[in-house]
Structure 1
Amino acid sequence: MHTKFQLAEPWWLLAIVALPIVAWFRGRRSVAAMILPNAGAWRRPSVIGGTKLSTTLIFLSAAATILALARPQSVATERHSKSRGYDIILAVDLSRSMEAEDYFVDRKRSNRLQAVKPVLSAFINRRENDRIGLIAFAGRAYTAAPLTFDHKWLGRQTERLQIGLIEDGTAIGDSLAVATSRLLEGAKERAGEREGAFIVLLTDGENTAGIMEPMEGAKLAKDAGIRVYTIAAGKNGYVPFPRRNERGERIGTSQEFLRVDTETLMKIAKETDGEFFRAESSDTIDQAFEKIDETSTIEFEVQQYSTITELFSYPLYAAGLLAALAVFSSRNKMREALA
């Protein structure tokens, strides 16, 4: 809930400008005088000179009255959104081939995983109404993060992804099976509260490991009503690849031949009514995720309620109190003068 203060008729405040002008003219007005012989013998204190306090109070009372006429209000605004988000699993390849340095980020050569991470983070941040989970796969597929609305935590988990965390290989079929399983579990938790579910599969190679074939995993997703968006990362052919010694320390760069199985990824997308994207650069990876974001975004209804509370009574009470004090002060001074 958001609360703000406003004046319903602020133009009344212009009248406050007139108060100092009135005070200035009142101070300059002339008082008639009569010259009498021996006046000092019967002189009494002037009542007029002792009304400064009451005059000040009267002016403050007038200012408070003007503020009341301007109708100060407090406006409490409450927003209610009726939305149903998606459950999304990001399945990211962590096989050795993701170390290939055929991408450029900020004009610097980068490996495929380094180029993918900021794009993943940007996608996660844009999907604020969705639960998102993370599957990491190489020779096997693991749940790196369950479905969650905590996108900051998920971003940190994404940043921790590293090549070599899982035994080498590319288990595309297994990754689809694990992702589908996690989404089916999520469907039970949010029955009737989600718009749907889909998988984003990002890989740069061929299926070389795992128990399940890629199309078997795709069939599991299809039977569960889950679309799969496939992104083929990297270039076919010879690409720069880091050379490492037995201790894993980099000692140079070599050229290795790598192949992306775009045909299988296209079949997976077609089988599940998803879409295939070819991403040979960091820009095209970003464009692929933006396209997915546009395709699978839901519009939701937002209702806004405003409660207006009139506050004019407070300055009006203050004006009355100040006026009463002015009258009391004036009468008290008059009694002292006549005593």
Structure 2
Amino acid sequence: MNWTQPAYLLLLLALPVMLLLTLMTERYWQRVRVLWSGQRRRLHWRSQLRLALVAALFMLLPLALAGLTVPALAPQSIQERMTLVIGLDVSKSMLAEDILESPAPPQLANRLNLGRSFINDLLSKLENERVGLFFFARNGIEMVPPTRDHGFIRYILRHTDMGRLTDSGSDLVAALTTADNMMVNDPCQGNEAVVLITDGEDTENTLEQLLSHLQSPNTKRRPVYSVRVGSDESVLIPIRKPGIPTIEGFYTDEQGLMLQTRASDSRLQHITAATQGANWHYRSDTSSAAQQLVDQILRHAQQADTAGASSLSWLDLSSLFLLFGLALYSLYMML
């Protein structure tokens, strides 16, 4: 039991005064009735009932104003029990400009900005899910722990200088490990899913190493959904500096050869197949991918969640007291 405005309980001190005034009024009208009709001096049953109604009314009003709340178990929806961790690839290959058009002008039309645009689109399709965000390249870094404050995630995406954050190399095992760590540290255990937004390149692991991680007994089985950005054709990775509209050159390897990158679904398909997830290829002209992804995640969660869950919440009884008081007042007026 809890009170939101306990100061209003002081109004209960006025209850004896109101009862005394009501009693004096009823006795006055009783004397009037005796004078004109010769009735007994004993209070009529209607007067006694009115006195009881006044007492009840002036008890209910302070209770309603004080905001009495009691603990109650409320059923949680699938969305409320869902924890979604989103990983955005920030490796150098994500700077490749093989996108049809900029997802949000005046941003550059590269894979990284397309991935950032997809996350914003995805957040707009979510309701009350807990969402976390991390970036990964050769290593993974947690940016936002799982939270229902989706606006804060948008803020991080908008104000993070992705160009300066990019790093050489891409490690899908590190991305999956970072997502696992974020889930383990999350106190709200429920339905869980991971979304990886990447071009699919993995420069740090062989296919056998990736499969070994997925099949490890220490890896918790949760669905991983991949969103691949970028074209199937090999392209160069441009070098740009802030404030300069032209390309200064292209990234090269240790031998001085220009680096080429090609988006691929091969590794991502192994990940989603092992975790019962799904793959998407997102382009700037794809409008329904985010909604399809959300529908798929919730559908899988609903199939896996057979028991349901409840959460402890506070039930406000103020409206109940007011309705009951209104009913008593109506009865008082009819007497």
Matched, 1:198 2:200: no
Letter of the aligned partner of 1:201 in structure 2? Answer: L
Cα 1:271–1:140 shift into 2, 3 Å: same
Matched, 1:236 2:232: yes
Q: Offset at 1:272?
A: 0.7
Cα 1:277–1:147 shift into 2, 3 Å: same
Q: Deviations over 1:238-287 (max 9, x none)?
A: 44754437x995533879742123111111100111111122x1233x53
For 2:119, what is the secondary structure of its paired residue? helix
Partner of 1:128: 127
Q: For 1:209 and 1:163, how far apart are their aligned partners in 2? A: 21
Q: Offset at 1:219?
A: 3.3
Matched, 1:287 2:282: no
For 1:110, what is the secondary structure of its paired residue? coil
Question: TM-score w.r.t. structure 2 length?
Answer: 0.58
Partner of 2:271: 268
Aligned-pair RMSD on alpha carbons? 4.1
Letter of the aligned partner of 1:208 in structure 2? Answer: T
Matched, 1:259 2:255: no
Q: Deviations over 1:288-335 (max 9, x none)?
A: 33222002226799x9997435648879999xxxxxxxxxxxxxxxxx
Matched, 1:182 2:182: yes
For 1:88, what is the secondary structure of its paired residue? strand
For 1:283, what is the secondary structure of its paired residue? coil
Matched, 1:93 2:89: yes
Question: TM-score w.r.t. structure 1 length?
Answer: 0.57
Is 1:228–1:274's contact at 8 Å kept on the other side of the alignment?
yes
Q: For 2:136 and 2:104, how far apart are their aligned partners in 1? A: 29
Partner of 1:23: none
Is 2:82–2:190's contact at 8 Å kept on the other side of the alignment?
yes
Partner of 1:25: none
Q: Deviations over 1:59-112 (max 9, x none)?
A: xxxxxxxxxxxxxxx9x9x99852142111111101122122222246966212
For 2:165, what is the secondary structure of its paired residue? coil
For 1:291, what is the secondary structure of its paired residue? helix
Instruction: Map 1:1-339 to 2 at 5 A.
Output: 82-83=75-76, 84-103=80-99, 104-105=101-102, 110-159=109-158, 160=160, 162-186=162-186, 189-190=187-188, 194-209=189-204, 213-219=209-215, 223-239=219-235, 242-244=238-240, 249-252=244-247, 257-279=260-282, 281-284=283-286, 286-297=287-298, 307=320, 308-309=323-324, 311=326
The alignment covers a number of residue pairs equal to 237
Partner of 1:7: none
For 1:251, what is the secondary structure of its paired residue? coil
Q: For 2:151 and 2:263, how far apart are their aligned partners in 1? A: 32
Which has the larger strand fraction? Answer: 1
Is 1:176–1:221's contact at 8 Å kept on the other side of the alignment?
no
Overall identity of the aligned pairs, in %: 23
Q: For 1:136 and 1:125, how far apart are their aligned partners in 2? A: 20
Cα 1:217–1:313 shift into 2, 3 Å: same
Cα 1:87–1:217 shift into 2, 3 Å: farther
Q: For 1:176 and 1:317, how far apart are their aligned partners in 2? A: 68
Q: Which runs of 5+ in 1 are unaligned?
A: 1-73, 319-339
